[in-house]
Structure 1
């Protein structure tokens, strides 16, 4: 048997935690050292691995935490790869394969084959809540052989499962810190203002980050002011501007003087695997300007 590691992905993020998949080849070979040709069938079974009673779904665990990643292993026909035990998936069967007699007095005859196994993360099983780390499940599969001179007598799924030919392999995936904006802010429209002071508007930013991963959010007006002080401009040739200040829910200036490790004048939090909402306030100290339509664009930076 040729087995090893089926690595679903080294970059599991909030975007692919419920959809990442990979295919791997499980290869086998058989040798006939006798003088008689015949037929052989190969059956391959896999149980729940580290969690033997969990088959649909199976789970990968991380040594550093108690989180799990739910996944499935399927055969080329799309059915869950398991054992012939009722309710535990379907065992792979090669069907009858002709194997010639050895070709010389001291020689041997070989046949080989492979089965494509697909390992896929399963949606709606809490995978998005997994914290960063490498998750694994190690399997001790079972190989059953049946040999006969007639092809009709080689069904290796008949009778008891042979536990004397185990083979091992590991399925793994690595969750990394990641973030994405999952709720785009709506525009703040102050509508009609005339010679007003201390005008306030607000919107919200929705961010989804890997569970437990720290992140910071920075805001930059179009004038590139790192302290969140922007200017709304009118239409040419009007040169008037309306100054404004971006603020967080705590009433502090919200800018972009920050890093992934330091909050600076941004907003910081730890991811939860689900959307987290952050309110942005815009304060206009004064709007004593010519009548016009004034606007500005703010860039959002998420650091993690």
Structure 2
């Protein structure tokens, strides 16, 4: 009985060797919502799952070639996701530092697939995972809002494997596995950024004539995003043309306007029609704030200030 068991075990090993094969699957990569206006990148990952059968102890080299995807690639450094005719730049990498682009021997760029490897165990089986690191680049403010996608399958996911002690993935070789499929997706949501330049009325001895000065509000919104800019009543919640700069209990009255003639007050929703509308273009739009201190009783000398909150609604 013992001899029969040994013979069966020996007969089993060659059958496993003849069954050399590998299969692969890749999870989808989702960046969810990305901010294209800021300079910050958005990161995500996907996972390759690998299962192989082969000769016990024999190293299997795996070359998971990833092409441009259906979104294409605008350069060696930028793959693209698409929304109609609009594109969003991103890239796939083989390292967590996102410095080594994950490519393929089939495209024109220098980057190649990383060399992965599995070694079958005593049962002739091996499995493992590898991470694909992705980045959507910041500073793509002219990209319109919407859902962006690039799909990978067929020639875009050419996974090849063979017995090898080397790491050469520079060319096609060995066995071509059934092509896994996955998608890379992101959503660009409407967004706005705002910055301001203060208004300084300077030094004035007696307030017996208009004192004019200007400031600036810079609004950057994603393309086609409708927005409006409102200014609140300052620390005293005053009307647009009767805001108050303060020094202790003393005040200086001033107004903020939308026009150089100082006839159109700039306020908020509490003063209907006093906000400034606009439509985003992906680049900064500069809005001038016109300030005026009208003639009035002059308070004691000193520095008078007020803080006005700028609100961009989109």
TM range (shorter): 0.7 to 0.9
Say how many residue pairs are matched: 280
User: How many angstroms apart in 2 are the aligned matches of 1:6 and 1:253?
Assistant: 49
Aligned residue for 2:17?
A: none
Is 1:270 matched up with 2:271? no
User: How many angstroms apart in 1 are the aligned matches of 2:194 and 2:166?
Assistant: 60
User: How many angstroms apart in 2 are the aligned matches of 1:39 and 1:12?
Assistant: 43
Aligned residue for 1:10?
A: 33
User: How many angstroms apart in 2 are the aligned matches of 1:53 and 1:217?
Assistant: 38
Work out which of the two has the higher radius of gyration on C-alpha atoms and give 1 or 2: 2
Asked if structure 1 preserves the Cα contact closer than 8 Å seen for 2:207 and 2:294, the reply is: no
Aligned residue for 2:185?
A: 172
Cα 1:30/1:264, change in 2 over 3 Å: farther
Cα 1:43/1:146, change in 2 over 3 Å: same
Residue 73 of structure 1: which of 92, 101, 104 is its match?
92
SS of equivalent to 1:129: coil
TM-score by length of 1: 0.81
Cα 1:299/1:72, change in 2 over 3 Å: same
Aligned residue for 1:91?
A: 113
Aligned residue for 2:148?
A: 135
1:214-225 map, 5 Å? 214-220=226-232, 221-225=234-238
CA deviations over 1:221-243 (Å, ceiling 9, x no partner):
2112364530122345xx4x322
1:217-256 map, 5 Å? 217-220=229-232, 221-225=234-238, 227=240, 229-236=242-249, 239=250, 241-249=251-259, 251-256=263-268
C-alpha deviation, 1:80, in angstroms? 0.9
SS of equivalent to 1:204: strand
SS of equivalent to 2:236: coil
Aligned residue for 2:310?
A: 300
Is 1:42 matched up with 2:62? yes
User: How many angstroms apart in 2 are the aligned matches of 1:84 and 1:51?
Assistant: 19
1:79-228 map, 5 Å? 79-85=100-106, 87-95=109-117, 97-100=118-121, 102=123, 109-122=124-137, 127-140=140-153, 141-147=157-163, 151-152=164-165, 159-160=172-173, 165-182=178-195, 184-220=196-232, 221-225=234-238, 227=240
Asked if structure 1 preserves the Cα contact closer than 8 Å seen for 2:266 and 2:275, the reply is: yes
TM-score by length of 2: 0.78
Aligned residue for 2:4?
A: none
Cα 1:112/1:264, change in 2 over 3 Å: farther
User: How many angstroms apart in 1 are the aligned matches of 2:134 and 2:268?
Assistant: 41
CA deviations over 1:49-101 (Å, ceiling 9, x no partner):
114464521111114xx221111111128311110245252112214x32135
C-alpha deviation, 1:249, in angstroms? 2.6
Unaligned runs of 5+ in 1: 103-108
Aligned residue for 1:62?
A: 83
Asked if structure 1 preserves the Cα contact closer than 8 Å seen for 2:37 and 2:138, the reply is: no
Cα 1:40/1:231, change in 2 over 3 Å: same
Higher helix residue share: 2
Unaligned runs of 5+ in 2: 1-23
SS of equivalent to 1:222: helix
SS of equivalent to 1:288: coil
Aligned residue for 1:23?
A: 45
User: How many angstroms apart in 1 are the aligned matches of 2:239 and 2:116?
Assistant: 65
Cα 1:9/1:266, change in 2 over 3 Å: same
